[in-house]
Amino acid sequence: MRPSVRFVASLLSLAVTLPAAGAEAQATSRCPAVASRKSDLAALAMRDTASLKPSGWGEPAASVVFVNATCVGVQIQWRDYYGRYHTHATLAAGDSTSLSTYVTHHWVARVTRGAPLALFVVPAGGGRAVVRAAAAAPAGRRS
């Protein structure tokens, strides 16, 4: 049985009106308002978590300013001593926040309820961590 022309046309119009991808794809575009901000902390790829020692116990205190330089909301999550993630902040596009933490602690920025974008390890003295879309995993893949 062949589908009707009207049915096929409605499917085609539905495909045209749906976005090509979700928030993860939007994060790959640059937001001009925040694209030029510099980061003191290097953004590591999520695949690097396996080679990192866990966040240290009893390390010196530090402060990190997280800046969302993507065009979508991101969550800032602390990776605890056992590899579990705890959300400490949610930032809209272009927003920033300062968090108190400790040297060697791991922080992950991920698209809100989505894919991870970057991993930051807090150095002595803390600093600024700019979340950029360039570090994003390809759409559909999770690290």
Angle 15-16-17 from CA coordinates, rounded to 5°: 95
Q: 1-10, 17-26, 64-73 — which one is most confidently predicted on average? A: 64-73
**Which among 37, 27, 114, 38 is positioned nearest to 70, based on CA atoms?**
27
pLDDT of residue 19: 31
Please tell me which residue, 25 or 104, carries the higher pLDDT value. 104
The per-residue pLDDT for range 77-98, each reduced to its tens digit, is: 999 888 889 999 999 999 999 9
Percent helix, strand, coil in the chain (nearest 5)? Answer: 20, 30, 50
Judge whether residue 127 has pLDDT over 90.
Answer: yes
The one-letter amino acid at 109: A
